[in-house]
Structure 1
């Protein structure tokens, strides 16, 4: 019958646990300053890709936080995690949010300024 009063199987939307992104390399060696500039440019323009500004703000906070706090931010904002590394997420209305690798972690070939 319907989902009312039935077991957790019906309509269960289990939240994926957020994990650290896999190691990756940028196409060329970049400095921490260049990486920060790339991240700032992305977050400044992200709301123009669609979706809600509040969700973009929560995703930024989650991307910049440690992994335990990241999970709490994602859960409290109602973000549906498609990819465990946060590269693809959805809000409760179904809007898609794609995050590039460089906002989620540092590349292996980064150098000091």
Structure 2
């Protein structure tokens, strides 16, 4: 809404296509159970950061889906994606949604649960 960074279309006029998020490394190795807890905590508190609950729900569904389905989810929810990995998005009213890397992909140094 109003600024070029919030446009859902690229310079060539086409929509930005989502891409698989890049790998990342956590400060210290964590287990899948710890990662799951971090994700749950984020999604439980995300609506308190502002924006619409419906958009947060759509972003969660997209973050947990494969790339093709994620693209369909954000398109149908009217989410404006400014980063190809879904880490920064806007709704149609201009509210910003920042997603941390740990909800988008797994770290390279994840430990096996015992």
TM-score (norm 2): 0.87
Runs of 4+ in 1 over 4 A off after TM superposition: none
Aligned partner of 2:69 in structure 1 is 69
For 1:71 and 1:83, the matched residues in 2 are separated by 13
For 1:103 and 1:60, the matched residues in 2 are separated by 8
Count of residue pairs brought into register by the alignment: 102
What is the CA RMSD across the aligned residues, in angstroms?
Answer: 1.2
Aligned partner of 2:90 in structure 1 is 90
TM-score (norm 1): 0.87
How far did residue 83 of structure 1 move? Answer: 0.5
Structure 2 residues without counterparts, runs of 5 or longer: 1-11
Structure with greater Cα Rg: 1
